[in-house]
């Protein structure tokens, strides 16, 4: 009887923790990689809400006083019907600092009927949406070149499944983005699994998301990727590939366990 009571208590505590993690927690992870520019990195919000219209999320970003904000894809979920919260969120973020963003696999596979509304929403919000394009910005005397990758959807899903997925090679990046220029190049690439190619292409920093930290993290080990693969690599944190730092956010949305939603703030 004692053991049964103990097991019930453990299960109840576990459920309470999971609810808190999924409905209330919002962590800030700080990474010091240099000096002079502060970047807030957000990713994979999907349908998650942090307060009404994400006011809690935006207030926390504002407190961090970023020079720029990077949103590395999956702002929405592919079957979302109402984009008003996404729009309000982006508009609030744009008032804090310039917001650069890319499409994730969910924006790529968004319904064709809703697509014009999605594009109009990005247009109205004043974010700098880069789809195999680049933009330049001067911050505190430094000149940054920011590229946004819109990769082949076949790296996420093929014929409705996850077998024989495409890969991204350096030559693909050169085809989509052109040759990497000299100078400080920041790349936004939703998918973190092709870091070797991003490094060889020449990015100094690459901002990714997609893996949601592995959905469940046991002792810091990612358990599952969105492609239904166990123990995915590059799930959360700072990784070094040659001269490049791969910066992976565990993201904000989707169900998760021991893997709280996070805002990442980098000094570079
Ligand atoms: Fe995602």
pLDDT tens profile 163-205: 999 999 999 999 999 999 999 999 999 999 999 999 999 999 9
For residues 158 and 203, what is the distance between their CA atoms, to the nearest angstrom? 28
What the chain holds in terms of domains, given with CATH numbers, is 2-267 (3.60.21.10)
Ligand 1 center to residue 200 CA distance, Å? 25
Ligand 1 center to residue 237 CA distance, Å? 16
pLDDT in tens, 93-132: 999 999 999 999 999 999 999 999 999 999 999 999 999 9
Ligand 1 center to residue 171 CA distance, Å? 26
Q: Are 210 and 104 a contacting pair, CB within 8 Å?
A: yes
Nearest alpha carbon to residue 226 among 152, 156, 149: 156
Ligand 1 center to residue 191 CA distance, Å? 10
Ligand 1 center to residue 70 CA distance, Å? 15
For residues 68 and 37, what is the distance between their CA atoms, to the nearest angstrom? 8
Sign of CA pseudo-dihedral 58, 60, 66, 70: negative
Ligand 1 center to residue 172 CA distance, Å? 22
The pTM of this model reads: 0.95
Ligand 1 center to residue 252 CA distance, Å? 9
**Both tokens of residue 84?**
């008003």
43 burial type by CB count under 10 A (0-12 exposed, 13-18 middle, 19+ buried): buried
Ligand 1 center to residue 203 CA distance, Å? 22
HEC profile of 20-63: HHHHCCCEEEEEECCCCCEEEEECCCCCCCCCHHHHHHHHHHHH
pLDDT in tens, 50-97: 999 999 999 999 999 999 999 999 999 999 999 999 999 999 999 999
């Amino acid at each position: 009887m004692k053991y049964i009571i103990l097991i019930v208590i453990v299960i109840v505590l576990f459920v309470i923790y999971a609810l808190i993690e999924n409905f209330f927690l919002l962590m800030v992870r700080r990474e010091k990689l240099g000096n002079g520019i502060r970047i807030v990195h957000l990713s994979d919000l999907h349908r998650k809400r942090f307060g009404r219209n994400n006011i809690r999320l935006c207030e926390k970003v504002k407190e961090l006083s970023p020079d720029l904000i990077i949103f590395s894809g999956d702002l929405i979920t592919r079957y979302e019907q109402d984009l008003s919260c996404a729009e309000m969120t982006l508009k609030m973020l744009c008032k804090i600092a310039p917001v650069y963003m890319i499409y994730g696999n969910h924006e790529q596979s968004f319904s064709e009927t809703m697509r014009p509304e999605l594009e109009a929403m990005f247009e109205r919000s004043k974010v700098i949406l880069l789809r195999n394009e680049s933009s330049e910005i001067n911050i505190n005397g430094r000149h940054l070149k920011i590229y946004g990758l819109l990769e082949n959807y076949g790296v996420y899903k093929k014929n409705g499944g996850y077998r024989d997925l495409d890969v991204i090679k350096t030559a693909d990046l050169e085809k989509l983005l052109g040759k990497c220029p000299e100078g400080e190049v920041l790349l936004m690439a939703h998918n973190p699994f092709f870091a070797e190619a991003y490094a060889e292409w020449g990015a100094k920093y690459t901002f990714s998301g997609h893996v949601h930290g592995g959905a469940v993290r046991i002792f810091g080990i990612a358990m599952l990727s969105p492609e239904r693969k166990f123990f995915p690599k590059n799930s959360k944190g700072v990784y070094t590939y040659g001269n490049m730092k791969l910066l992976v956010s565990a993201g904000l949305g989707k169900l998760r366990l021991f893997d709280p939603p996070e805002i990442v703030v980098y000094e570079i």
